[in-house]
Structure 1
Amino acid sequence: MAKTMQPQELIDSAVVDPAGNKLGKVGNVYLADATRQPEWITVKTGLFGTKESFVPLSGAHTDRDGVHVQVDKEAVSDAPRIDADGHLSPEESAELYRHYGLPVPRMSPDGRMDDRTPGTGGRAKPGMAAGRGKPGMDAKRGDRAMTRSEERLNVGTEQVETGHVRLRKYVVTEEQQVTVPVRHEEVRIEREPITKADGKVADIGEAEEDVILHAEKPVVRKETVPVERARLRKETVEDEQTVSGKVRKEQFEVTDDDGRHRRS
């Protein structure tokens, strides 16, 4: 494993197996207690990267396309399920070593993983997780520092289609009543006396007069006239909506030799 490999350079890098298969992205970096060098990484796999599998960095190297490891995709998929949220226990470390066919470091009297057994080289012990997105140690200063991270809600807006609105016209039939003034002609008899001045004596006999009468009647004609115009126009109305979501954050916990815990 290259000595120049830094935890902060590994986070979110693509992980590639010897066959060129992309396994996922680096989630956590675990450092060796003795050398403080990256020893294990967790690879985000599954739908949306919801699972994390431990992958050894023994023999790994970085390239432009990501971290190239020496184990194949099938071995990573079948790796033991271990929570990537703290220090690897000796039992968990031994289980991972055995799964990947790596020599298991011997156990020191205090219960910690010691260097490899004689004849197997100088493999470092599994160490603390580097955290999600940050290295676990400040290598430049040599401080035993740990970065605390937390999730935050980044709320924005996006425009989505909510429906269609159509404007159409249709025909209905209704009854209307209109009062129209009309005129008609009637006959009345006007009588006036005959005077001697008229002079002429009329003969007795039959006679008749023909008078034509007229009347007005309503005539209905229909015409189409425009009465109004309608159009659809969109307008933007501002409103407020409250959104919520669950976020995770890391907390620090300090434990002394007496087993007392202090959180901050």
Structure 2
Amino acid sequence: MFERGHVKEGMTVRSIDGQKLGKVFAVQEGEFLIEKGLFFPKDYICRYSEISDIRDGEIILLHGMEGLRRFSFDEDRGVLGQSVGTTGLTANASAAGVERPLVNQDSVTVPIYKEELEVTKRERQAGEVRIHKDVVQEERELSVPVRREKVRVERRDVKDRPAMHASFQEETVVVPLRAEEVEVQKRAVVDEEVVIRKDAIEEERRVAETVRREEVDIRSDGDVEGPRKLDLTPDDPTLRRS
């Protein structure tokens, strides 16, 4: 489905059989206008839904010229007259979005154009912060108290105490001695945290670009009244553009 953004002024329009119908000279919200001829051209209206394809900058329609709705330029009234079968459009050049001089029996209205700056913003990566962690090995010593048993031998003189179970055999008496050993284990713990926060800072930035505008140079021959300046408001129909 083609939309308004696909159609540009100046694009060539062809019928389904390849016949050149004209060029686009005005783009509207729901349709675009096709210019046919050179002097007092007959203009045609076409909806975006009537586009079959756009190839190499040219618009291919789903039908031929007979399927177009025609606008004819009425010289006596100075407006674009709507042909039979066209609905939903007003019969004046401003409402149709046709940016060309309006002519009637008493006056000619010539639009003067200028370019305005339109600023848009887009996000881009302005930099980055990298945090790199290295593994460092170091020796650490701990003092751990441990216990062990040692032997202290005492000999006591016992006089004339009866022996109940004397066997008078050789034997060895073993007395176990105990001691604590140190075992070292490692476990990972969180030592500290690094927190990174981003703050949005708003600043003014000046941009400059060259724009164009049209200036009027009025020259007259003979007994002609001097030019007048019309105080038109921005919502005046004669200033309305597509």
- Give TM-score scaled by structure 2 length: 0.36
Q: Which structure has greater strand proportion? A: 2
- Give TM-score scaled by structure 1 length: 0.33
